[in-house]
Every structure is written in C-alpha cells, then in structure tokens.
Structure 1
C-alpha cells in the first residue's frame, strides 16, 4: 500500500480508504429519531484535513487482540500503523448501543464532527445510522481484502445493500460465560440460570444481540 508523505494533506475519507489494505481492520459505522431529522443524501460530516495522519476508532472493550505478555499492546494495530504510517487512537468507550448513539447523535444531527472516524456497533444500530445518512460510502476498490474475504452471507444485509457503508467487525452469537470449577456443574440451558444458588449472581448485556 502506498504511504502518504507527512507533508501531504489528505482528507479523513482518504484515511478511511487506506484501511482497506488490512483485513484485520474493519469499519462499522452504522429508530427512534424523529423523522424531521431525516433527509435524503449524505449527512455525514464534511471531510477535514488530517495531515497529522491520525485515526480515531471507537470500539467495545475486549474486541481486539492484545499481547499475551503486555495487555496494553495491540499487535493488529501495531502492524497497521507500521504498514500505513497512520496513527490509531483506539478508544474502548462503547458499552451500549443506545448509550453511544445518545452520545454522538447531537453532533451528527448538526453536521458536526464526533471526533471519531470509525465506530463498531451492532447491525441493528448500523441500520439506523445508514438510514439517517450519517455514514460515508466506502470505496471497495481500496479495500481488496473486504471484497475478497467477506463471508457471502454477510455481503448484502437488508439495511446496507451491497455493503457500501459498513463492514462486519465480528459475527457470531451471544454465549454464556461462567466458571465451571467454582459453580461445580455445567450450565446447559437458559433455565439453568434461574437456579436458587445463582440468585443475584447472573448479569446480562443490555444489547439486543
């Protein structure tokens, strides 16, 4: 991938396109919002100068690999920065889809920057962002790994035909996590969570998925 000289001014959209050269990085940006806010077309913030070659990425906690010996190091991000020359500010600030929507939607409603270039949210929340026109269309010509390796089942969701605005970061199902040694038995069904000895010891995520 060609690297941009530090003396060259590039747009944030150009930086986002540069992400396509690495399969490990995926962009997920994207109802409850009054219809008065919704108008056709791209309502995302205009491109800004990014001559400092920085990219801010908001994600959920524990959603990226860390070094076994140093949890503060993230090998995937280190490799990306070395390859592209783009410095990534990685922020684990998303704990709930609706909470995060409430945090950044006022700026987006007013065509103002949120201070974030990439966000990772669940598909149903992505659908809201796409409908509102708050995400920028990606150039797949600059994302060869997405075009080549994306699972066919994930290529054209109903909310984003042709995956023009979003890229899956992770896909799967929600599981049940517990310490079998401490519990002394296996949990095999949801009904097992209602056992008397687990009262007050079970917690659930707030998201739909």
Structure 2
C-alpha cells in the first residue's frame, strides 16, 4: 500500500499501478574500496519511512554521505530504475514490486555473506513468499490491510462480513483501491487474497457488487476521522500513522485483522542493477538490521519494524500494543502477502469496472 498512513493506497497495491499496468558496527573497512564505490550512498525510499534521525546517525557513525530521495508509488520508483540513469545504490520496493523488479532484472541478488543481522527479522519476514530466502530484498517496515469499527455503532466485529451487513447501510466504507477491495471480496467468499483463479475473482466481483448498496462510498483518505466521529460504523482500513493515531486517541475505535486473514505488506531494501556504492549499501543494510536502529522506525517514523529484536528497544511502548501499528503474531498468522497478480490482472480490472459501474 508509508507516513505510510493513507498513502498506503500505493502500498496495498496502488490503483494507478495495477490499473496501468551490519557489520554491526558502522563504517566497515570496505567503505571507499575500489570495488564498491566511495564514501557516499544514494537511497530512493518511500517518503517518511527512513527517518532523518536514522540517516544522520549512519552518517555520523560511518562518515558516509547519504543522499535520500523519496517517492510516493512503486511505479515512480520502477520507472526511475527502468530509465537506466537513476544512480541509486539502494531502493525500497514493496513486496509485489520486488517480484516485478526481479522479473525486469532491475535489482541484484544480495550477497548474504556481506549481511549481518538477518536473523533479527521476525519469522514472518524470513523466506517470504514474494522473495524466497530473502534473495533480493531485506524487509524494513510492515503493515496490514484490515478494517476498523466504532463500538458505539457495532459492539464488536471480527469478520469481513461486517462490511457487507445490511444493518449498517450507509455507514460502511471500503478503500477506493481495486486490489485492496478484492482482499475483502475474495476472503469473504472463501478464497485467499492471493488468488488468481478466474472463477474466484468472479465470485468476489459478485460479492463486491452486491455490497455496493450497503456502502456510504469508497474512501482512501479521511475514513479514520469518519470512524472517530461516528459518521462511519466500519471501514476497510490500512494500518499506519493516521489509523494508529485515531485508535490511540479514541477508545471507541478498534482496528482489526479479520478472522479471514486480511493482508500484510512490507517495504524493504534492494540493490539496483549497476549500483556503484555497494559497500556503503551493505553497510546501510547492516546498520538498519541492528535492533536499536530498527526501533527508530517506530519511535521516529511511526512504522512497525520487521525486526523482532527491535521491540525491546522501542521507547513508545503504546505503539507496540496498538494493532494499527503492530498487529499481533496471532492476527497476522493467516494474513497473506499481496502479490503481483501477473496475467490475472485483467480479471481484476474487468471485475472492478463492473463493480464501479453497478
């Protein structure tokens, strides 16, 4: 789907995209070597996901000068790499984008002999379905797609069925994002969010079409505020800063991953093909894998860290308990990584056209 709050439209797989389609220490001795470039590093990352405090500390510890450029969609990042003249040493693709970049040969396999700290990652992010063996990417931050509800309207809710319930007609919102909506449509009809089966997509299309009479609308912007004021009873939602703030401030608003699973996304680091400053790139990856540094993604960036050991270093303990930041291990057990649908994209596009026109 970054602050990955409501821009998570791009992360849960942006409509624009889909429809168009350490050394624990720092400053290792290889910085500046002839084979890996000089003491500089060019990074291209999601806006707000690598806090300034992290960059500054890395520069102080290593003497490496970091240039951090930011993007707001995987498509923008991919287009830059495709141009062949981007000049970046590290990029931060989302999980489905990692698949696409591998297929386009735009990122290099990682040399795991040069990486220290992969064992700090939580189990969910080791050997992920989109990048077996973490061959091409190191997950950095993560979040989920689920729903939120206001208990003044709905006493409790655990299933996507809540968003399809006639009794809440006119007070339900869905994300205005094709594949995000299909997560609910597929799972509520018994399929996986990763399904590319034409028949299952058609069943999901029928469910989403029927749901439309219940909805107040599709909303990817201010739904957390609508939930907080009670104008919405429930809404499909992305975890992240905006949703987390409402959950923290309003005890009546609850964010949940549905019992059917919901989905999980992650943004990680990859080395583009032809990167010049690879020594610095590996130093930065190792730096971010240090638990005390990874904790800064939460304290200074408001994001959940993929680093299991980082939780001991997070100062904002309330964030660890906020499901709109850190969903529980039990909650994400059934959550799917949303993958690149490949040729099945046409079935989603055709179905979404039907849903929106109904």
TM-score by length of 1: 0.55
Query: How far apart in 1 are the matches of 2:86 and 2:53?
Result: 27
Write the mapping of 1:1-209 to structure 2, written as runs, cut at 5 A. Answer: 1=25, 3-4=28-29, 8-11=32-35, 14=36, 50-51=37-38, 53-65=39-51, 74-93=52-71, 95-107=72-84, 113-146=85-118, 148-174=119-145, 192-193=172-173, 202-203=219-220
**Paired positions, count:** 149
Higher strand share: 2
Query: How far apart in 1 are the matches of 2:217 and 2:132?
Result: 43
Higher helix share: 2
Query: How far apart in 2 are the matches of 1:185 and 1:103?
Result: 46
Q: Secondary structure at the match of 1:153?
A: helix
Query: How far apart in 2 are the matches of 1:89 and 1:139?
Result: 23
Query: Structure 2: which 5+ runs fail to align?
Result: 1-24, 165-171, 175-215, 222-236, 238-264, 266-337, 340-358
Query: How far apart in 2 are the matches of 1:62 and 1:126?
Result: 20
TM-score by length of 2: 0.34
Q: Secondary structure at the match of 2:41?
A: strand
Residue deviations 1:85-126, cap 9 Å, x none? Answer: 211111122x1222332333132xxxxx42111111211110
Give 1:173 shift. Answer: 0.6
Give 1:167 shift. Answer: 0.7
Residues 124 and 201 of structure 1, relative CA distance in 2, 3 Å threshold: closer
Query: Structure 1: which 5+ runs fail to align?
Result: 15-49, 66-73, 108-112
